[in-house]
Structure 1
Amino acid sequence: MTTICTGDKVVLPTSPTPQPATIIISNASGKIVEIVPQRLSKDHFSSSSYRTPINFIDAQSSLILPGLVDAHVHLNEPGRTDWEGFYTGTRAAASGGVTTVVDMPLNSIPPTTTVENFEIKKTTTKGQCFTDVAFWGGVIPGNEGDLKALVDRGVKGFKCFLIESGVEEFPCVKEEDLHKAMKVLQDTDVPLLFHAELDVGDDHPHPQEEDSTLYSTFLNSRPQKLETDAIALITTLQKTYPSLRCHIVHLSASNALPLIRQARAAYPNNLTIETCFHYLCLSSLSIPNGHPEFKCCPPIREEWNRDLLWEALKDGTIDFVVSDHSPCVSELKNLDTGDVMGAWGGISTLGLGLGLLWTEARGEGEGQKRDVTIAQIVDWLCWKPAIHAGLGDRKGKLEVGFDGDLVIWDEEAEWEVREEELRFKNRVSPYVTKRKRLRGRVRKTFVRGNLVFEFDGEGEGRFGEPVGELL
């Protein structure tokens, strides 16, 4: 089979604006074999020399984008498959134009901290994945001896926590643990990812007796200082291990931006930063009390903070955007009691990110118009996370030799996020609570030339076969 996709608005890495083009994918190899810089009709190929059947797709007025790469997803299988799993999680991802996800080492049981655990996890993926899947490993106290073997097995890097993770099988690390791990990893080409919150015991609110249903109670319990203290430690450690790339996951604190810029001036290529859709699209003052579906760690902060994160994304201080899809069973969100402090901290976003960012960029969310182009969004959601996850040789852009991952996206379609629109397992989302209206809708998603999702305007859409591979 040869898949041919043509359109007037194709986002190519060679142009800052969408261009007419025709993309030709060999399904045998899964690769883009040719890009013709013009829109071609089906008749053009009817007498061509292709020796395989042709699947011709005309995107018409829709955009053609490279498949998204979500480099921060908790799929939770095995062990907590009632929270999420490879089948439901990658299915939801595909419905939002994501063609590659990178799975976090927790909250599965066992976590991806040893070779044995990693092999168990890989076994559970068989026949379940609608997208391609890569994996992060984990750094916990005492597992530094497993790290190089995990790199050899194909993990793309390692995540650690500087504060308790919320699950007992993935404990946080201390500075002495970091030295042991960083000594090992400095001789590899993979990054060390940090959940950058650190409680150094300074005087900040620990509101055991305050109203636990107030979002402000939770927000005050996780001040920006936790993030700035963590990043100060990380950038200090970088001076000892300058060859190791360190990465800050889900940055929420704009107060840390000056420290990040200073560190990058000293070590330009060895510190990278991500933020999340919810930090860019929500603000704390618009969160109703008694709604734990808005809880995540670090927390969603004030409007002024959100504006500064946007500016940092636009000027390149923040490299890219991820979902940090961190689901749980609905009972753990305390939806019945409204207890924010006691609820699981995580926001589910798989399938919504592209529309969320585009809507916000156009000034149709809760803030101002951001003056952002679709080429910038592709950079933040496709190319930069692909590089971060060690996949920059095959994912993240429409180019000959790259995987035939692409998305047909109707940039003008409008729709409201409702529970029945969500495809992940536990359909709890702050965007349902807010009756969020989004601009932009995925019409088709292709993974290596294979149609894995199609939406024709009715129901949940149709899914193809789970053709995803492990990267």
Structure 2
Amino acid sequence: MTSLDLIIRAPRAILPDAECAISVGVTGGRIVSIGALDAPANAKETVRLDADTVLLPGLVDSHVHICEPGNTEWEGFLTATRAAAAGGITTLVDMPLDSVPTTVTINALAAKRAAAEGHCHVDVGFWGGAIPSNLADLPKLHAEGVLGFKSFLCDTGTDDFPGITPQHMESVMRVVAGLGSIFIVHAESAEAMASMPDLHTRRYADYLASRPKGIENLAIAEVIEAARASGARAHILHLSSADALPMLASAIADGIKLSVETCPHYLSLCAEEIGDGETAAKVGPPVREAANREKLWAGVAEGTLSMIVSDHSPCTPAMKDPVSGDFGAAWGGISSLQLGLPVTWSEAQRRGHSLVDVVRWMAERPAALAGLPHKGRLAIGGDADFAVFSPDAEFVVDAASLHHRHPITPYAGRPLRGVVQETFLRGHRIDLFGRPRGALIVREASAAQPQELKRSA
């Protein structure tokens, strides 16, 4: 009998289609066997779970802003990946902006990788950026292994990552389609946003009124038509407007290569409960009303919204302008890497969803989006990435206990259900304060094997 490096015996484990009692064998960082709970095996290490815990595949978060290099005081690779591991996430993909330089050239990508090397507790991949001036750089970035390309259709607030026009978007999509890659987009209309007045207010209702659903809806319609014309794969980031769901469903039914994500904050928070001056909850697009939240849940249930990712967008405490509570001046972003699973599970369970559903939304589909076939599922040949989860354990969020760089969260004091007990990366327990073992994920440039991955330790 071949000796395994590790076997995990789990009375409850989440396979792609069901919860089952299984044993999972690991050799060389990969899953090599899935069998009966009591299947005979020789292993160097055996982990036996009890019936109160569930073995999940490591989650995949394809929407994370890590601000290193350049803005490491906002967030860095060490703290972000520590928070991810504490939250059951074993793979994340870094967004191309909020660092200096932004990831819009191969030199900038090299700077990102140099900053990340040796400082990641989980595996990390990178999106490239598409801006008005770098169309010729997209094939070079693709050859260097970025997992796809991100643009904004609105002003980003930063000169080194400007938004693009709908016309330029179609040009980007044609290049991306030719590369066999994917275009991901922050869909809010610059034209519609420009007509809104400058805002200085403590009232959340005023901030919400300044970012109406129509700003999203208009940009989403433009993305749909550019994808239709170009044949590119397109992905809508962080949907907050439930009004857009019917046209998104129609486009998908028409065969347009389109997918859509939303975030835990849009599925748990609601405008009616955000107090004046509570700028920790400011994000763009904004958290909307409770009725909109329930329609988003309906979109998740029927599949138009296919995945749930964090949009972890960190900043320093001062950038949230907590003294004035000015929603106009405060940074728009929510830090939530560590809490995404319990926030989503708490809300999903009360609506009748299962852990099979949550794993599909938070592991399998984000992995597929990023082209990571060895991630996000308990399957033979896949990476041995696991989260050991206690779904019925309850806790109250203490911001000081979170591992992202600054203790800022709109969930402070919120009771949640579900606790991550341990996280494994390629068969090894992640020690949050030990030597980081995460690898940098690179898409192979070879057209013959477009889905293969290579890693540098």
Query: The TM-score by the shorter chain falls in which range?
Result: over 0.9
Distance 2:88 2:154 in 1: 33
1:136 to 127, 130, 148: 127
Aligned pair count reads: 437
Distance 2:192 2:79 in 1: 40
The one-letter amino acid of 1:378's match is V
* Structure-to-structure mapping, 1:455-470, within 5 angstroms: 463-470=433-440
Distance 1:411 1:291 in 2: 29
Question: What is residue 213 of structure 2 aligned with on the other side?
Answer: 224
Question: What is residue 204 of structure 2 aligned with on the other side?
Answer: 215
1:425 to 372, 380, 405: 405
* Structure-to-structure mapping, 1:231-242, within 5 angstroms: 231-242=220-231
The one-letter amino acid of 2:310's match is S
Provide, for residues 23-71 of structure 1, a one-character-per-residue CA deviation record: whole Å limited to 9, x for no partner. Answer: 1111xx310111112245xxx54xx3x5xxx121111121000000000
Alignment partner of 1:327: what SS? coil
1:339 and 2:329 correspond:
no
Distance 2:277 2:314 in 1: 18
Provide, for residues 416-445 of structure 1, a one-character-per-residue CA deviation record: whole Å limited to 9, x for no partner. Answer: 10122211001100001xx11111100110
TM-score by length of 2: 0.93
Unaligned runs of 5+ in 2: 442-457
Alignment partner of 1:55: what SS? strand
Question: What is residue 401 of structure 1 aligned with on the other side?
Answer: 381
1:383 to 364, 380, 385: 364
Question: What is residue 48 of structure 2 aligned with on the other side?
Answer: 58
Alignment partner of 1:228: what SS? helix
Contact 2:82 2:403 in 1 (8 A): yes
Alignment partner of 2:33: what SS? strand
Unaligned runs of 5+ in 1: 364-369, 454-461
Question: What is residue 449 of structure 2 aligned with on the other side?
Answer: none
Provide, for residues 319-373 of structure 1, a one-character-per-residue CA deviation record: whole Å limited to 9, x for no partner. Answer: 100000000111010011111111010000011111011111233xxxxxx1101
The one-letter amino acid of 1:341's match is G
Q: What's the % identity of the aligned pairs?
A: 39
Provide, for residues 263-303 of structure 1, a one-character-per-residue CA deviation record: whole Å limited to 9, x for no partner. Answer: 112225x0000000000010000001011100000000000
Question: What is residue 245 of structure 2 aligned with on the other side?
Answer: 257
* Structure-to-structure mapping, 1:158-173, within 5 angstroms: 158-173=149-164
Distance 2:37 2:6 in 1: 16
Provide, for residues 153-209 of structure 1, a one-character-per-residue CA deviation record: whole Å limited to 9, x for no partner. Answer: 11010110011112221111113322332221121221111100004348965254x
Contact 2:131 2:161 in 1 (8 A): yes
1:5 to 8, 12, 18: 8
1:413 to 378, 386, 393: 393
Using the TM superposition, give the Cα deviation of residue 258 of structure 1 relative to its aligned residue in structure 2, in angstroms. 1.3
Contact 2:423 2:429 in 1 (8 A): yes
Alignment partner of 1:289: what SS? coil
1:246 to 210, 228, 234: 234
Contact 1:20 1:39 in 2 (8 A): no
Question: What is residue 121 of structure 1 aligned with on the other side?
Answer: 112
Using the TM superposition, give the Cα deviation of residue 464 of structure 1 relative to its aligned residue in structure 2, in angstroms. 4.1
TM-score by length of 1: 0.90
Distance 2:262 2:32 in 1: 34
Question: What is residue 367 of structure 1 aligned with on the other side?
Answer: none
* Cα 1:182/1:362, change in 2 over 3 Å: closer
Alignment partner of 1:155: what SS? coil
2:264 to 265, 268, 277: 277
Using the TM superposition, give the Cα deviation of residue 85 of structure 1 relative to its aligned residue in structure 2, in angstroms. 0.6
Does 91-100 or 352-361 show the bigger shift? 352-361
Question: What is residue 446 of structure 2 aligned with on the other side?
Answer: none
Using the TM superposition, give the Cα deviation of residue 410 of structure 1 relative to its aligned residue in structure 2, in angstroms. 0.7
Distance 2:336 2:285 in 1: 16
Contact 1:6 1:39 in 2 (8 A): yes
* Cα 1:6/1:464, change in 2 over 3 Å: farther
Using the TM superposition, give the Cα deviation of residue 4 of structure 1 relative to its aligned residue in structure 2, in angstroms. 1.4
Contact 1:137 1:155 in 2 (8 A): yes
Contact 2:64 2:95 in 1 (8 A): yes
